[in-house]
Chains A and B, each alone.
Chain A
Amino acid sequence: MIEAQHVTKVFYRPIRKQGLSGMAKTLFSTRKEKIVAVNDVNFSIGKGEIVGYIGANGAGKSTTIKMMCGILTPTEGKILIDGMEPYKGKYRNKVLKHIGVVFGQRTQLWWDLPLVESFKLLQSIYEIPEKDYNERLTNLKSILELDKFMDSPVRTLSLGQRMRADLAAAFLHNPDIMFLDEPTIGLDVLVKEKIIAAIKQIHAQYQTTIILTTHDMNDIANLCERIIIIDEGKILFDGPLQDVKNRFGDTRQVFVSAKDRMDLEEFNKKFAGQLQFEVIDHYLSITFDADKVQTKDVLRYVFNHCEVIDVKIKENSIEKVVKVIYEKKAY
């Protein structure tokens, strides 16, 4: 159970001026600018939930996560994890024992050592009994397919391998709460899918509460039922993913490449003016609301009226919605 109550985090950063003379001035200046990274944030996350925590770069996601893992202390308000504030000295180790963190851009593994040694170190850090350790490691090894590189030094792993290893490392002590900060960053589609599938499986098995930040809306669509959207430190939306979809409509986009042209006016008339057309990269893009127009009807019409070379269908509703929200800075 995680609770954020009126959490605000303010940073002070020295004002840096440009150029050489500016640097010299900065050296002796004590002027600082105030940055409100997180501004009066409230939420409560129950056991076993998977929550997508999303926002543009610099929105305050990582800051919130760092406060939840006790690395940062809120300037105002408090965060309670099972009733304890993780950043307070007396609770820190107690809370951290039940938390796992993956920062996608940084590894928690020991760079020079064979992977298996990192796991053993984590075993001793978290005081995991031998039996649990073996059981979980065997399980995680098979879910994340680590067997091939268990004895390789971490620095020789590919990004995809390292990410899988990092996930295993974070789940090794079976935390109640897992923070995944951009776990799929920089990965190819195949590895991404594997990782998402693995997270799903681990969640189903251990009922871990998962807080996920990502810029990849596919990850969100595949994993989360609830999302929290944060921008400039403020929460813009907190609720079921379905709500966002409903509110902004569940749009579909069909891309058609054909040998001959169609009468678009006629086409749109047939669908009561619900279609929007655009030409993108030699493809005709047809956008419509999936609640009002059936994709199969559109496709049938297209196939009946021209000789089709290629068709692509995209359901990028969340991505678009999020973009709209970021731009409008309001839900």
Chain B
Amino acid sequence: MRKRPTNRYTGFIKAGVLGTFVYKFSIFGWLVGDIVALVIYCFLWIAVFANSPTATINGFTSTGMLAYVVSARIIGHLVNSSSSFYNVGSDIREGTIANRLSKPINYRRTQMYSSIGQYIGSFILFFFPLYVPAQLILHFAFGVAFPAWYNILLFLVSSFLSMLIIDSFDFIIGQVAFFTGALFGVMLVKDAVMSFLSGGMIPLSFFPQGFQTVFKFLPFSSMLQTPAFIALGMYSFEEALIKIAWQCVWVVFLGLLSYATFGRTVKRVISVGG
């Protein structure tokens, strides 16, 4: 009897979770680095607002800004938990791709499932222990309201979709790294660009109007700003649903694109030997 094909991949979710826990110490390193960065960001924005003639900048109050910067940073780590980029790049470079391809499964899907595992792992190990205290501090020290219960649910959905979008995106870029040979360099550029364009540093509403129009047709805002705005309750329920629908579009589009590009890359990789 033929089982449902997904069963063959569920093992990768578990492997992804385990993989995250293996690197728990490096996560603590990130944690410390993040807390330092967050403190710096907070002081920076407090100074900016103190010297601003108006109480709001581009629709953000100073506490609103604080809440956004802190949340975006922490959520950024959660949605960026996929290691597809590195896995694809190194599998191709080191030739382990031949081993992976000799298995009766789809390589792209194995990567996606282990990314789901990594998302779960980093939710438990990183997101929860950092986000909850951050919300408490924001609430009691700065009077930021707690998110509504439905926002939390929508956020869970939205951040999961963000992770899938980033996973596909990373998977595609990971292949580019193979052709250029500079895995680490491409990663630095990718991370910087993504963090900037997805709203990780400043909300996208700070960009000039022209850019914002272009961004509407790019996947970046779906990667981070959508779940961050939802978590902060900055969208109405209807707006949130529309944004999530957009995320779904990107999940499907980039997902298909990643399958398609990988088919071509494999042909090429394998035809030059390895």
Chains A and B come from one and the same complex: yes
Main secondary structure of the interface of A (DSSP, over half): mixed
CB neighbours of B270 from chain A (8 A): 66, 71-72
CB neighbours of B96 from chain A (8 A): 106-108
CB neighbours of A280 from chain B (8 A): none
Which chain B residue has the least Cβ–Cβ distance from A106? B96
Does chain A have a CB within 8 A of B208? no
Taking a contact as CB atoms under 8 Å apart, the answer to whether B102 and A13 are in contact is no
A25 to B14: give the CA distance in the assembly, Å: 48
Given A11-B271, A121-B11, A123-B11, A113 and B18 contact (CB-CB distance below 8 Å)? yes
Taking a contact as CB atoms under 8 Å apart, the answer to whether B8 and A125 are in contact is yes
Does chain B have a CB within 8 A of A124? yes
Does chain A have a CB within 8 A of B3? yes
Which chain B residue has the least Cβ–Cβ distance from A35? B273
CB neighbours of B271 from chain A (8 A): 11-12, 72
Does chain B have a CB within 8 A of A51? no
Does chain A have a CB within 8 A of B103? yes
One of A91-99, A186-194, A235-243, A257-265 at the interface: A91-99
A99 to B104: give the CA distance in the assembly, Å: 9
Which chain A residue has the least Cβ–Cβ distance from B95? A106
Residues of B in contact, count (CB < 8 Å): 28
Does chain B have a CB within 8 A of A277? no
Does chain B have a CB within 8 A of A70? yes
Does chain A have a CB within 8 A of B22? yes
Minimum CB–CB distance from B125 to chain A (whole Å) comes to: 15
CB neighbours of B15 from chain A (8 A): 110, 113, 117, 121
Does chain B have a CB within 8 A of A43? no
A153 to B23: give the CA distance in the assembly, Å: 12
Given A106-B96, A125-B103, A126-B104, A112 and B8 contact (CB-CB distance below 8 Å)? no
- Greatest chain B CB density within 10 A among A94, A99, A125 is at A125
Interface residues of B in 20-57 (CB under 8 A from A): 22-23
A75 to B42: give the CA distance in the assembly, Å: 61
Interface residues of A in 48-65 (CB under 8 A from B): 63
Which residues of A approach B to under 8 Å, CB–CB? 11-13, 37, 63, 66, 69-72, 92-94, 96-97, 99, 101, 103, 105-108, 110, 112-114, 117, 120-121, 123-127, 153
10 contacts between A and B (CB under 8 A): A66-B270, A94-B104, A101-B102, A106-B98, A110-B19, A114-B18, A124-B7, A125-B8, A126-B104, A127-B7
Which residues of B approach A to under 8 Å, CB–CB? 3, 7-12, 14-15, 18-19, 22-23, 94-96, 98-105, 270-273
